[in-house]
A and B are shown apart, each in its own frame.
Chain A
């Protein structure tokens, strides 16, 4: 009954979404204000219907309705309640419904907050968001119905994948989808801009916080994914350049370029067609990611169970949405005209360079990710993995880090480089001193570590120049500047973490009897005992490991190995002792021999936390920047008409 209600709600939502597309476009073409206004109304209605469907699916999970195939495949009566709720997005069908929920949620927010926008813009934006909704609803209803029944109903579910039974993993998809869906708002505005031939600073200012917010969520989603992989997969690895990871990283790179390009367009009316193109690309890469993950065209442990029919559908959807958008760009792009000159050595030019580096980096990641697929068409079978990306990617990160330092000291229109040089003296000096950091902290040096340390300290020091100047002058720090500062600091911190972790990680596989010790990185690891232990839906072993340094006790760690009943899947829960300086990581292997010995894997990873701290700082920075006063005030006021100054 409830599942059928949910199913029906989706069908209704499809009908409403179609109206959401057709009516505003008709209204725009024939200047019918009522038809235009129907778009936002339809968006709100569709939102309610999708929310109802989502609620029905959640209900089925919470109440263990194993007559629904999706619930039977991904849940279990012993599954803790929290995970029964998060299991809704644990596999393909439910995750698409979550995508839809977020899409309708963002659409509702946009139409509610944008009541003061010009009616044609709001109508067209609703239409584009509606078109995306139509695509996803058709996809869901035709190929991936989450409400499909299982007849006869299963007595018990197959349980949620144990890898997903973790808080970090639970929140990671919603964060990512908030990002992808948020970029579809920027996409919708770009289409509206291309269709109307207008991209004025008034509603540039309107869209900017939404796009920044989308980027912020995507940043957190990626950071969470990396943190989860480190803790759950037992390898101490935090990034694998896996196609599915790349699928989230590419929109992030382009999204970063987009939010910076929006700054230039809003402030100076320049790079308009760039901004529009970046918005289209960010959304296109989000859709491409959806395709890669669900079509079976690439091999990845992250991939959902694949089905070529789904792949064909998404590919067709990609072709229509992105092909249509880029075709529109080819036709109408030239109409978006710059409002001035872009001089050399100004902030605008620096931001343009920034975008070049980010977009080319994204292109390089795309090339690496898609090359195996392209090569296969030519009957050449190849793999592209971390060695490729690790060699190519620094080519872009290094110049970016060098340039980002100038972000707040070079002004708009005409950067005063002599002035900037003076203000950068101290950061430059500190950066040179930082060359010694590897030796100070790890008693040895590598090129990567020295370069990373120098660049990181350069970025951190230079980023703090402007806030310190403001504090000294007793001028306030607007949220936008605080946000930018935090985000750039995050980048520097991240770079420091990556440089040190890549250069100085050590690992050791050992075999210990109870009471025996092994040493690594100056620390002594003693295996005290291993006990049997059980949880709600698993049985396992739990080790007790003491860590000491120079005799002093540092930590007591409890690595586990769990066997989940339902799917018989084995999983490590590694134990980590962490502080900002280093991680000590212990992973339990198996019992070997007949004398109660166990194999263990030990890791010493310096500055590992910095990698995620960087992500968190970028997240906080984005939040601050998106909630700057002038956006909230602009929303409350009537937006300035397009041609105020040239009348």
Chain B
């Protein structure tokens, strides 16, 4: 008789725990289902046709970062100085110019600096769709076999680089 009167308060306790945990999470962040899977295939030209064609094969063989950016993207400007710094330290970053024209993308890189070993022009966003991009900037970390091991949603910051990405690349910070 007494036990069933405790059920409501027990349910409340459980709910409070979950709601409390929920407060510490960001409901707008959508983790990627591609972690642990090979990078999706694509066939796209490089920016301004340099080189005329790039595929996912170009991303195999060594660990690297794939950074989706656009000239119209505010957050990209926030992370750009860090990307420039990393590229000078030898980190390979491949840029995906997402839903942008060649002219705008090239002009933006000329003005802000180009940290990318190569830039791929994803003018229609088709690669973005296949990679599960829903906003820019987003950065994927690939290992040597071309498998996605991490996705950063939003700008890459010092903490994210140091704590999450650098260890995956085997880079001593």
A residues neighboring B (CB under 8 Å): 273, 277, 280-281, 284, 291, 295-299, 308, 311-312, 315, 318-319, 322-323, 326-327, 329-331, 333-334, 370, 372-374, 376-377, 379, 381
Contact = CB atoms under 8 A, between A and B. Distances in A.
A312 B27 CA distance: 16
Given A318-B16, A319-B16, A334 B27 contact: no
Interface centre among B23, B28, B31, by most A CB within 10 Å?
Answer: B23
B22 A291 contact: no
Contacts of A315: 16, 19-20, 23
Nearest to B14: A374
B31 A312 contact: no
Nearest to A303: B27
Interface string B24-42: 1101101100000000000
Contacts of A297: 19, 22-23, 25, 27
Contact of B12 (A322, A333, A379, A381): A322
21 contacts: A284-B12, A291-B19, A297-B27, A299-B27, A299-B28, A308-B24, A315-B23, A318-B16, A319-B16, A323-B9, A323-B13, A323-B16, A326-B12, A329-B9, A330-B6, A330-B8, A334-B5, A370-B15, A376-B21, A376-B25, A379-B31
Contacts of A284: 12
B2 interface: yes
Q: Please list the 3 inter-chain residue pairs (A to B) with the smallest Cβ-Cβ separation, ordered nearest first.
A: A326-B9, A373-B22, A377-B21
Contacts of A370: 15, 18-19
A308 B23 contact: yes
B2 to A, nearest CB: 6
A60 to B, nearest CB: 32
Given A298-B27, A299-B27, A372-B27, A377 B18 contact: yes
B110 interface: no
Nearest to A328: B9
A377 B24 CA distance: 10
Nearest to A300: B27
Nearest to B16: A319
Contacts of B16: 315, 318-319, 323
B129 interface: no
Question: For chain B, what secondary structure do more than half of its interface residues adopt (helix, strand, loop), or is it mixed?
Answer: helix
Contacts of A298: 27
B1 interface: yes
Nearest to B26: A296
Contacts of A322: 12
A291 B12 CA distance: 14
A553 B43 CA distance: 57
Nearest to B17: A377
Interface of B: 1-2, 5-6, 8-9, 12-13, 15-16, 18-25, 27-28, 30-31
Given A295-B23, A297-B19, A315-B16, A334 B8 contact: no
Nearest to B15: A370
Given A299-B28, A381-B31, A373 B12 contact: no
Given A298-B27, A381-B30, A376 B22 contact: yes
Contacts of B5: 273, 329-331, 333-334
A376 B9 contact: no
Most chain A beta-carbon neighbours within 10 Å: one of B2, B25, B28: B25
Contacts of B2: 330, 334
A376 B22 CA distance: 7
A381 B32 CA distance: 10
B24 to A, nearest CB: 8
A296 B27 contact: yes
A370 B24 CA distance: 15
Nearest to B23: A311
Nearest to A308: B23
A330 B7 CA distance: 8
B31 A373 contact: no
Nearest to B9: A326
Contacts of B1: 334
A373 B9 contact: no
B8 A329 contact: yes
A374 B12 CA distance: 13
Interface centre among A298, A319, A327, A376, by most B CB within 10 Å?
A: A376
Contacts of B21: 376-377
Task: Count chain A CB atoms within 10 A of each CB in B1, B8, B30 and give the residue with the most.
Answer: B8
Contacts of A326: 8-9, 12
Given A315-B16, A318-B16, A334-B1, A327 B9 contact: yes
Contacts of B13: 323
Contacts of B30: 381
A312 B22 CA distance: 11
Contacts of A318: 16
A330 B9 contact: yes
Contact of B19 (A299, A330, A331, A373): A373
A252 B21 CA distance: 27
A298 B15 CA distance: 15
Nearest to A310: B23
Nearest to A323: B12
Given A281-B8, A318-B16, A319-B16, 20 more contacts: A284-B12, A296-B23, A297-B19, A297-B27, A299-B27, A308-B23, A311-B23, A312-B23, A315-B16, A315-B20, A319-B12, A327-B9, A329-B8, A329-B9, A330-B9, A333-B5, A372-B27, A374-B22, A376-B27, A381-B31
A73 to B, nearest CB: 22
A333 B1 CA distance: 10
A312 B21 CA distance: 11
A374 B19 CA distance: 7
A281 B11 CA distance: 12
B44 to A, nearest CB: 28
B18 A374 contact: yes
A302 B2 CA distance: 41
Nearest to A277: B8
Nearest to B25: A376
Contacts of A296: 23, 27
A299 B25 CA distance: 12
A331 B13 CA distance: 16
Contacts of A376: 21-22, 25, 27
A372 B18 CA distance: 10
A373 B18 contact: yes
Nearest to B6: A330
